Structure 1
Amino acid sequence: MKRIWTNPALFTLLAALVAPAAHAVEYHTVLPKQSSIGFEFRQMGVPVQGGFKRFAALMAFDPARPEAASAKIEIDLASIDAGSPEADDESAGKLWFNRSAYPKATFVSSQIRPLGGNRYEMRGTLTLKGRSRELAVPVTFVPGKAAATFDGTFVLKRLDFGIGEGMWADVATVANEVKVKFRIAATGN
């Protein structure tokens, strides 16, 4: 004889445990027009802001399972806006990005760790100008009705990647620290 569970308290508890997973949204469709990657550095002590106009991002993020999340971002270095056409042209050369040999920068996540309050730490590898470095990037997840955003800011040291070599290696002229700020907007299923 089969037993049928009719305990309403047990049924309610099971439904509550299953419901968040069943209704969780996995964000995976990136909205390029609502996303941005920018940077700020100091040249001769003066802050200079810029950004990149073209990049591609692949991601999968389910707030109910952040440990399963993944992200890959490829930045087209030729899309730089460094504040002036002269600076944009200079960045293409061997002393800076050497874009003829390394046209893209790539970040690939390896781990996402929840920090609480919609904040996460994303670890991964940034490859720029043929050099790879591990990064830990703080990210804030902001859910929305039409789309969610993933906002982060981190500092990279340009000389770790050979950016600004030769006469540009003097950190009194161009600071070694570059603050990178990004916003990735995405929708889910």
Structure 2
Amino acid sequence: MKYLIFIALASTISNAALAASETYTIDGNHTLPRFSYSHFGYSTQLSRFDKTAGKIVIDRMAKTGTVDITVDMTSVNTGSTLFNEHIQGKDFLDTAKYPTATFKSSQLKFAGDQLVAIDGTLTLKGISKPVSLKITSFHCMPHPIYLKTACGANATTVVKRTDFDMGKYAPNVSDEVTIDIPVEATKDLL
């Protein structure tokens, strides 16, 4: 009887350990959100942010989790120092008043074992709006350099500049902005 109780207890502990939430810290060297938009119809411009931080908590067995990401808006990188300064002005990012943007979520959506979407709130320029990120890839495995578990994903969404008080020159400069986020994060050790 003691043996059966021991097996039941061990099984419960084992299943609880497998279903436990794991916390991952964003790898800022490999998480560089990009944004693109039509520039007067001439071309599609592509820029990025060079500083991102945050945490992702995920329970892959329970298919739940949270995302809390902060992007340093002063790290915008358009490829032009002059345009970096221009886009940080009041008509656009207004980084003097709003130096960061955040994305927060507790709504991770799975199809089987694959993470396929994250619904959350994007706060940009002090304005919060619901945003759904489509996950186009999701992969976790031991990291060959860091020697601990890491997860990565690619996410994409489209937002309107006018929703965030950045509508200058719209619609000539596209109101719709595509945001692509390559994200990598490493598991926090206990």
Scaled by the length of structure 2, what TM-score is found?
0.82
If you compute each CA radius of gyration, which structure gives the higher value, 1 or 2?
1
Identity %: 27
| Match runs of 1:61-80 below 5 Å | 61-67=58-64, 69-80=65-76
Structure 2 residue aligned with 1:175: 174
Moved over 6 A (4+): none
Structure with the higher fraction of residues in strand conformation: 2
Q: Name the CA distance, whole Å, in 2 between partners of 1:183 and 1:129.
A: 22
- Structure 1 stretches lacking a partner, 5+ long: none
Offset of 1:85 from its aligned partner?
Answer: 1.6
Offset of 1:26 from its aligned partner?
Answer: 1.6
Q: Name the CA distance, whole Å, in 1 between partners of 2:109 and 2:31.
A: 22
Structure 1 residue aligned with 2:122: 126
Change (3 A) 1:151 1:95: same
Change (3 A) 1:33 1:103: same
Structure with the higher fraction of residues in helix conformation: 1
RMSD: 2.3
Structure 2 residue aligned with 1:159: 162
Q: Name the CA distance, whole Å, in 2 between partners of 1:59 and 1:185.
A: 10
Structure 1 residue aligned with 2:93: 97
Q: Name the CA distance, whole Å, in 2 between partners of 1:19 and 1:103.
A: 44
Offset of 1:86 from its aligned partner?
Answer: 2.0
Maintained 8 Å contact 1:30/1:58: yes
Change (3 A) 1:18 1:151: farther
Structure 1 residue aligned with 2:39: 43
Q: Name the CA distance, whole Å, in 1 between partners of 2:142 and 2:15.
A: 17
Total equivalences in the alignment: 177
Maintained 8 Å contact 1:157/1:176: yes
Q: Which amino acid aligns with 1:22?
A: A
